[in-house]
Amino acid sequence: MSDVWIISGTDTGVGKTVVAAGIAATAGARGYRVAVIKPAESGIPPDAGIESDIEAVIRLAGPAAARSLVSYPDALAPLAAAEEAGVVPLAIGDVIEAVRVTAGNYDLVLVEGAGGLLVPMGEGGWTVAQLAVALRCPVVVVCRADLGTLNHTALSLEALEHRAVSASVVVGSWPDEPELVHWRNLTDLPGQLDGVVPAGAGALEPELFRSRAPGWFTARLYGRADPGRLRLDGVPGPPPPWPVDAFPPPWPGEA
Protein backbone atom coordinates (compact mmCIF):
# COMPACT_ATOMS: atom_id res chain seq x y z
CA MET A 1 0.00 0.00 0.00
CA SER A 2 1.46 3.35 -1.04
CA ASP A 3 1.85 6.28 1.33
CA VAL A 4 -0.03 9.43 0.32
CA TRP A 5 0.63 12.84 1.86
CA ILE A 6 -0.87 16.21 1.00
CA ILE A 7 1.49 19.18 1.27
CA SER A 8 -0.49 22.26 2.25
CA GLY A 9 0.33 25.39 4.19
CA THR A 10 -0.84 28.28 6.29
CA ASP A 11 -0.66 30.66 3.32
CA THR A 12 0.82 31.10 -0.11
CA GLY A 13 4.59 31.53 -0.35
CA VAL A 14 5.40 29.62 2.83
CA GLY A 15 7.67 27.06 1.14
CA LYS A 16 5.33 24.21 0.16
CA THR A 17 7.19 23.41 -3.05
CA VAL A 18 10.62 23.25 -1.39
CA VAL A 19 9.17 21.13 1.42
CA ALA A 20 7.57 18.79 -1.12
CA ALA A 21 10.92 18.51 -2.90
CA GLY A 22 12.69 17.93 0.41
CA ILE A 23 10.36 15.10 1.44
CA ALA A 24 10.62 13.59 -2.05
CA ALA A 25 14.43 13.69 -1.89
CA THR A 26 14.44 12.30 1.65
CA ALA A 27 12.15 9.39 0.82
CA GLY A 28 14.01 8.79 -2.43
CA ALA A 29 17.27 8.44 -0.48
CA ARG A 30 15.62 5.62 1.47
CA GLY A 31 14.72 3.78 -1.71
CA TYR A 32 11.12 4.94 -2.10
CA ARG A 33 9.80 5.43 -5.61
CA VAL A 34 8.23 8.87 -5.22
CA ALA A 35 5.63 10.59 -7.37
CA VAL A 36 4.61 14.23 -6.94
CA ILE A 37 1.29 15.62 -8.17
CA LYS A 38 0.36 19.30 -8.31
CA PRO A 39 -3.40 19.33 -8.99
CA ALA A 40 -3.55 22.99 -10.02
CA GLU A 41 -0.96 25.71 -10.46
CA SER A 42 -1.66 29.34 -11.25
CA GLY A 43 0.47 32.32 -12.19
CA ILE A 44 2.42 30.57 -14.97
CA PRO A 45 1.79 32.35 -18.29
CA PRO A 46 2.76 30.32 -21.38
CA ASP A 47 6.31 30.91 -22.61
CA ALA A 48 7.04 33.30 -19.72
CA GLY A 49 10.21 31.47 -18.72
CA ILE A 50 8.98 31.04 -15.14
CA GLU A 51 9.92 27.82 -13.37
CA SER A 52 6.76 26.03 -12.30
CA ASP A 53 6.44 24.31 -8.94
CA ILE A 54 6.67 20.89 -10.54
CA GLU A 55 9.76 21.91 -12.50
CA ALA A 56 11.34 23.07 -9.22
CA VAL A 57 10.55 19.73 -7.57
CA ILE A 58 12.06 17.84 -10.51
CA ARG A 59 15.20 20.01 -10.44
CA LEU A 60 15.75 19.70 -6.71
CA ALA A 61 14.60 16.17 -5.91
CA GLY A 62 14.46 14.22 -9.16
CA PRO A 63 11.42 12.11 -8.16
CA ALA A 64 10.45 9.05 -10.18
CA ALA A 65 7.42 10.95 -11.52
CA ALA A 66 6.04 14.47 -11.25
CA ARG A 67 3.26 16.33 -13.02
CA SER A 68 0.69 19.11 -12.80
CA LEU A 69 -2.88 18.31 -13.75
CA VAL A 70 -3.78 21.86 -14.83
CA SER A 71 -2.01 25.22 -15.04
CA TYR A 72 -3.44 28.71 -15.35
CA PRO A 73 -1.76 31.98 -16.39
CA ASP A 74 -3.24 34.31 -13.76
CA ALA A 75 -1.86 34.36 -10.21
CA LEU A 76 -5.20 33.70 -8.53
CA ALA A 77 -6.79 30.94 -6.49
CA PRO A 78 -7.17 27.99 -8.91
CA LEU A 79 -10.96 28.22 -9.23
CA ALA A 80 -10.80 31.95 -9.97
CA ALA A 81 -7.87 31.40 -12.35
CA ALA A 82 -9.85 28.79 -14.27
CA GLU A 83 -12.83 31.14 -14.54
CA GLU A 84 -10.64 33.99 -15.76
CA ALA A 85 -9.04 31.70 -18.33
CA GLY A 86 -12.46 30.60 -19.55
CA VAL A 87 -11.81 26.90 -18.98
CA VAL A 88 -13.67 24.21 -17.09
CA PRO A 89 -12.49 24.15 -13.46
CA LEU A 90 -10.74 21.04 -12.17
CA ALA A 91 -13.05 18.46 -10.62
CA ILE A 92 -12.07 16.87 -7.30
CA GLY A 93 -12.93 13.45 -8.75
CA ASP A 94 -10.23 13.87 -11.40
CA VAL A 95 -7.66 14.56 -8.69
CA ILE A 96 -8.76 11.59 -6.60
CA GLU A 97 -8.52 9.30 -9.64
CA ALA A 98 -5.08 10.65 -10.57
CA VAL A 99 -3.81 9.98 -7.04
CA ARG A 100 -5.39 6.52 -6.98
CA VAL A 101 -3.78 5.48 -10.26
CA THR A 102 -0.41 6.96 -9.30
CA ALA A 103 -0.46 5.28 -5.90
CA GLY A 104 -0.76 1.94 -7.65
CA ASN A 105 2.62 2.44 -9.30
CA TYR A 106 4.75 4.23 -6.69
CA ASP A 107 5.68 3.85 -3.03
CA LEU A 108 4.90 7.43 -2.02
CA VAL A 109 2.63 10.04 -3.57
CA LEU A 110 2.98 13.70 -2.53
CA VAL A 111 0.12 16.00 -3.51
CA GLU A 112 1.05 19.67 -3.33
CA GLY A 113 -1.86 22.03 -2.84
CA ALA A 114 -2.17 25.73 -3.66
CA GLY A 115 -2.29 28.38 -0.96
CA GLY A 116 -3.89 27.12 2.22
CA LEU A 117 -6.35 24.41 3.18
CA LEU A 118 -9.54 26.28 2.31
CA VAL A 119 -8.58 27.91 -0.99
CA PRO A 120 -11.19 27.14 -3.71
CA MET A 121 -9.39 24.69 -5.99
CA GLY A 122 -11.93 23.84 -8.67
CA GLU A 123 -15.43 22.83 -9.62
CA GLY A 124 -17.92 23.50 -6.84
CA GLY A 125 -15.25 25.27 -4.76
CA TRP A 126 -13.67 22.09 -3.40
CA THR A 127 -10.69 22.58 -1.11
CA VAL A 128 -7.50 20.79 -0.15
CA ALA A 129 -9.10 20.03 3.21
CA GLN A 130 -11.91 18.20 1.42
CA LEU A 131 -9.37 16.37 -0.73
CA ALA A 132 -7.58 15.14 2.39
CA VAL A 133 -10.85 13.77 3.74
CA ALA A 134 -11.63 12.07 0.43
CA LEU A 135 -8.16 10.51 0.17
CA ARG A 136 -8.07 9.66 3.90
CA CYS A 137 -4.48 10.82 4.04
CA PRO A 138 -2.45 13.01 6.40
CA VAL A 139 -1.42 16.58 5.66
CA VAL A 140 1.88 18.41 6.03
CA VAL A 141 1.11 21.95 7.17
CA VAL A 142 3.96 24.20 6.05
CA CYS A 143 4.23 27.37 8.12
CA ARG A 144 6.36 30.47 8.48
CA ALA A 145 8.83 31.14 11.28
CA ASP A 146 7.83 34.80 11.56
CA LEU A 147 5.42 36.72 13.78
CA GLY A 148 1.82 35.63 13.18
CA THR A 149 2.63 32.01 12.49
CA LEU A 150 1.20 30.70 15.77
CA ASN A 151 -2.32 31.84 14.94
CA HIS A 152 -2.18 30.75 11.29
CA THR A 153 -0.79 27.34 12.19
CA ALA A 154 -3.32 26.79 14.96
CA LEU A 155 -6.20 27.69 12.64
CA SER A 156 -4.96 25.26 9.98
CA LEU A 157 -4.54 22.45 12.48
CA GLU A 158 -7.98 23.15 13.95
CA ALA A 159 -9.54 22.91 10.48
CA LEU A 160 -7.90 19.51 9.98
CA GLU A 161 -8.77 18.25 13.46
CA HIS A 162 -12.41 19.21 12.81
CA ARG A 163 -12.28 16.89 9.79
CA ALA A 164 -10.43 14.10 11.64
CA VAL A 165 -7.34 14.52 9.45
CA SER A 166 -3.92 13.98 11.05
CA ALA A 167 -1.16 16.49 10.41
CA SER A 168 2.54 17.23 10.69
CA VAL A 169 3.93 20.76 10.93
CA VAL A 170 7.02 21.84 8.98
CA VAL A 171 8.68 25.25 9.12
CA GLY A 172 9.20 26.11 5.46
CA SER A 173 11.99 28.68 5.72
CA TRP A 174 14.10 28.92 8.88
CA PRO A 175 16.25 32.11 8.76
CA ASP A 176 20.04 31.97 8.66
CA GLU A 177 20.20 34.43 11.55
CA PRO A 178 17.16 33.67 13.70
CA GLU A 179 16.00 36.25 16.21
CA LEU A 180 14.15 35.86 19.46
CA VAL A 181 10.76 35.85 17.72
CA HIS A 182 11.79 32.90 15.54
CA TRP A 183 13.11 30.85 18.45
CA ARG A 184 10.07 31.64 20.53
CA ASN A 185 7.73 30.66 17.68
CA LEU A 186 9.63 27.43 17.18
CA THR A 187 9.13 26.62 20.85
CA ASP A 188 5.44 27.54 20.87
CA LEU A 189 4.27 26.18 17.50
CA PRO A 190 1.22 23.96 17.99
CA GLY A 191 0.98 20.45 16.63
CA GLN A 192 3.58 17.83 15.84
CA LEU A 193 6.71 19.47 14.47
CA ASP A 194 8.27 17.11 11.93
CA GLY A 195 10.56 19.36 9.95
CA VAL A 196 12.49 22.61 9.73
CA VAL A 197 13.82 23.62 6.31
CA PRO A 198 16.53 26.31 6.13
CA ALA A 199 15.94 29.51 4.16
CA GLY A 200 17.44 29.39 0.69
CA ALA A 201 17.22 25.61 0.42
CA GLY A 202 15.53 25.93 -2.97
CA ALA A 203 18.63 27.66 -4.36
CA LEU A 204 20.99 24.82 -3.44
CA GLU A 205 22.57 22.68 -6.13
CA PRO A 206 20.46 19.53 -6.57
CA GLU A 207 23.15 17.16 -5.29
CA LEU A 208 23.64 19.25 -2.15
CA PHE A 209 19.89 19.63 -1.65
CA ARG A 210 19.36 15.87 -1.81
CA SER A 211 22.21 15.12 0.57
CA ARG A 212 21.03 17.62 3.18
CA ALA A 213 17.27 17.08 2.98
CA PRO A 214 17.10 13.97 5.24
CA GLY A 215 18.43 16.05 8.12
CA TRP A 216 15.51 18.48 7.88
CA PHE A 217 12.73 15.99 8.62
CA THR A 218 11.87 13.44 11.30
CA ALA A 219 11.28 9.75 10.64
CA ARG A 220 7.56 10.39 10.17
CA LEU A 221 8.53 12.26 7.00
CA TYR A 222 11.24 9.72 6.10
CA GLY A 223 14.16 11.72 7.51
CA ARG A 224 16.64 11.35 10.34
CA ALA A 225 16.14 14.53 12.39
CA ASP A 226 15.65 14.00 16.11
CA PRO A 227 12.12 15.23 16.99
CA GLY A 228 13.29 16.20 20.45
CA ARG A 229 15.94 18.55 19.04
CA LEU A 230 13.93 20.33 16.36
CA ARG A 231 12.54 22.84 18.84
CA LEU A 232 15.88 23.23 20.62
CA ASP A 233 19.24 23.04 18.89
CA GLY A 234 18.49 21.00 15.79
CA VAL A 235 18.22 24.03 13.49
CA PRO A 236 20.75 26.57 12.14
CA GLY A 237 21.89 29.51 14.23
CA PRO A 238 22.51 30.00 17.96
CA PRO A 239 19.58 31.11 20.09
CA PRO A 240 19.82 34.80 21.00
CA PRO A 241 20.42 36.03 24.56
CA TRP A 242 17.30 36.94 26.49
CA PRO A 243 16.59 40.68 26.19
CA VAL A 244 17.43 41.24 29.87
CA ASP A 245 21.06 40.44 29.05
CA ALA A 246 21.28 43.62 27.00
CA PHE A 247 19.65 45.90 29.57
CA PRO A 248 21.85 48.36 31.50
CA PRO A 249 22.09 47.84 35.24
CA PRO A 250 19.27 49.62 37.09
CA TRP A 251 21.55 51.70 39.33
CA PRO A 252 24.71 53.62 38.46
CA GLY A 253 27.84 51.71 39.24
CA GLU A 254 25.99 48.39 39.74
CA ALA A 255 27.65 45.55 37.86
The CATH number linked to 171 is: 3.40.50.300
- CA pair distance 32, 109, nearest whole angstrom: 10
Residue 146 covered by a domain = yes
What's the domain count of the chain? Answer: 1
Residue 254 covered by a domain = no
Instruction: Convert the pLDDT of each residue in 214-255 to its tens digit.
Output: 999 999 999 999 998 888 765 656 655 544 443 443 344 444
Helix or strand holding residue 67 (H, E): strand 65-72
Contacts of 68 (CB under 8 A, 6+ apart): 37, 38, 39, 40, 41, 52, 53, 54
pTM score of the predicted model: 0.91
Residue 253 covered by a domain = no
Contact criterion met (CB below 8 Å) for 75 and 40: no
Instruction: Convert the pLDDT of each residue in 137-188 to its tens digit.
Output: 999 999 999 999 999 999 999 999 999 999 999 999 999 888 889 999 999 9
Beta carbons within 10 angstroms of residue 137's beta carbon: 18
What's the N-to-C CA distance of the chain in angstroms? Answer: 65
Residue 252 covered by a domain = no
Domain holding 30, by residue range, is 3-246
Residue 255 covered by a domain = no
Residue 204 covered by a domain = yes
Instruction: Convert the pLDDT of each residue in 209-221 to its tens digit.
Output: 999 999 999 999 9
Residues identified as active-site: 38
pLDDT grade for 45, boundaries at 50, 70 and 90: confident
Contacts of 151 (CB under 8 A, 6+ apart): none
